[in-house]
């Protein structure tokens, strides 16, 4: 299986032949930043197109089919339109916080995006406390949403931001406990090590019932955390026009829009990394010929395929279930998911202590 660290070491060696040490680091930081931003934008545009096609499939429509073959360029056309839209000046707002909020949201999702191990040797940040860092930076986005709602001086925006704050803070507990359950199973918080330990079997299959319960709860809580249907109360257009970004226009609105899709990608990527082996191929103990054939598939393709399956499930949720009321949404978390998670964490501890796993 190809190791992308060969490419990164080659680039580093080439730069060191021509530049002094300080310039090498600066150049590498700039290159990594450009790669992250380009990848961020491309993934968001692809997900917007896929969302429209999946929505059309569920509603027996065609979806985008005019701009480019099969409508493939529709998302890019919308992006250029968004870039050229005027940033409308709104009266009676806190201008500094109003303009700052979209950047906080986008920075939060970019930092979380940088933690993901995409393939063998292809990762930006690999801390020994990677899971803790990921949960911490992904929680920053709620600050931007609350600032956006409050600074807009609009009752719809404020109600949407308050809903989003209650929802995201509540469901972060279930996400954190689901991830903690698998941290107990793996014994480490370093994402690369978690992936490496799944070489002989993905944690979803090796962790028995607690891993399966944690995976299901994580998918539900992750969907709610990204404010997607049926948990899209913060931007319920039938009640709140557009929720906390009602007053935003142009690229500022585009930042919120991109962040929503990238957060969905991050949620799916974390599920893939922790439960489905990350970029690891499917290995079955004793099936040496099968395992060797699986190793021929590039690690990046494995990762993309697993993430695509999880994203499709999240989209399936949105276009299948009706929107919940705010009391139903919070009751689901505090009365059902949280107690299930706590019991499941204790169950996983027993599985690890008594070595009941595969």
Mean pLDDT by 10 residues, the chain (358 residues): 82 86 87 88 90 90 88 88 82 86 90 88 85 90 88 84 85 92 91 88 86 93 85 65 77 85 92 91 83 86 93 89 84 92 93 79
Whether the ω angle into residue 230 lies within 30 degrees of 0, i.e. cis, is yes
The reported pLDDT for the residue numbered 341 is 94
The reported pLDDT for the residue numbered 56 is 92
The contacts of residue 129 (CB under 8 Å, 6+ apart) are 189, 190
The reported pLDDT for the residue numbered 346 is 93
Are 107 and 82 in contact by the 8 Å Cβ rule? The answer is no
The reported pLDDT for the residue numbered 238 is 58
The reported pLDDT for the residue numbered 335 is 92
pTM of the model: 0.90
The reported pLDDT for the residue numbered 168 is 86
- Classify residue 243 as left (phi > 0), alpha (psi -120 to 50) or beta: left
The contacts of residue 139 (CB under 8 Å, 6+ apart) are 108, 172
**Which DSSP symbol is given to 321?**
S
The reported pLDDT for the residue numbered 321 is 86
| 155 CB-side CA count, 13 A | 1
């Amino acid at each position: 299986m190809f190791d992308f660290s060969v490419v990164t070491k080659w680039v580093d060696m080439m730069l060191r032949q021509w530049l002094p040490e300080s310039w090498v680091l600066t150049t590498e930081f700039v290159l990594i930043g450009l790669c992250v931003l380009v990848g961020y934008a491309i993934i968001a545009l692809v997900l917007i197109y896929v969302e429209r096609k999946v929505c059309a499939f569920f509603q027996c429509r065609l979806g985008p089919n005019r701009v480019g073959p099969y409508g493939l360029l529709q998302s890019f056309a919308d992006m250029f339109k968004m870039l050229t839209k005027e940033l409308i000046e709104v009266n009676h707002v806190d201008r500094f916080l109003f303009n700052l909020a979209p950047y906080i949201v986008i920075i939060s999702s970019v930092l979380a995006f940088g933690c993901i191990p995409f393939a063998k040797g292809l990762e930006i940040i690999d801390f020994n406390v990677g899971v803790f860092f990921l949960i911490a930076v992904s929680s920053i986005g709620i600050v931007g949403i609350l600032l956006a709602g409050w600074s807009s001086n609009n009752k719809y925006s404020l109600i949407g931001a308050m809903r989003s704050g209650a929802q995201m803070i509540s469901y972060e507990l279930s996400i954190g406990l689901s991830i903690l359950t698998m941290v107990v199973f793996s014994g480490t918080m370093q994402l690369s090590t978690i992936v490496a330990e799944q070489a002989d079997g993905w944690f979803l299959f090796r962790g028995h019932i607690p891993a399966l319960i944690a995976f299901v709860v994580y998918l539900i809580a992750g969907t709610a955390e990204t404010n997607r249907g049926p948990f899209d109360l913060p931007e319920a257009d039938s009640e709140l026009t557009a929720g906390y970004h009602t007053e935003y226009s142009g690229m500022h609105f585009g930042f919120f829009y991109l962040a929503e899709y990238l957060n969905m990608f991050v949620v799916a990527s974390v599920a893939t990394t922790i439960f489905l082996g990350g970029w690891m191929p499917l290995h079955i103990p004793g099936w040496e010929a099968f395992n060797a054939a699986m190793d021929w598939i590039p690690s990046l393709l494995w990762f993309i395929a697993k993430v695509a399956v999880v994203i499709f499930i999240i989209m399936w949720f949105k276009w299948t279930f009706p929107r919940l009321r705010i009391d139903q949404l919070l009751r689901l978390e505090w009365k059902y998911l949280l107690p299930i998670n706590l019991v499941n964490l204790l169950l996983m501890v027993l599985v690890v202590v008594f070595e009941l796993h595969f």
